[in-house]
Amino acid sequence: GQQLNQSPQSMFIQEGEDVSMNCTSSSIFNTWLWYKQDPGEGPVLLIALYKAGELTSNGRLTAQFGITRKDSFLNISASIPSDVGIYFCAGRLGSWGKLQFGAGTQVVVTP
């Protein structure tokens, strides 16, 4: 089946630093999405990407849909303490909006 690899698994950064994480897939996705999950909560959508090569920003977040449609990255600029959490990439499978998720990147921000 399709494999979706997300890296890094975790990262410890200082407040103010930039963060970068990425996902790669063995197959093509039609849509890439990035979610953030806080403890005890469900994932919250950050950015959705629909076209190969698309670059989209949401505040301090920037994400890109890779040209090959098999990868995507998420950057967080000037991190702040509330950026702490687990970030998931997800690719859309098929016609119904079914998503395949990566294993997540845990971000810890230290003052």
Please report, as residue ranges, which positions from 78 to 107 form the binding site for other proteins (by CB under 8 A).
Answer: 88, 90, 92-104
- Per the DSSP assignment, residues forming a β-bridge with 76 are 19, 61
The residue among 35 and 73 lying less far from other proteins, judged by its C-beta, is 35
- Rounded CA gap, 68 and 86, in Å? 26
- Map residues 6-25 to x or -, x wherever contact with other proteins holds by CB under 8 A: x-------------------
Q: Select the residue interacting with other proteins from 1, 14, 42, 111 (CB under 8 A).
A: 42
Q: Which of 41, 55, 49, 39 has the alpha carbon at shortest distance from 89? A: 49
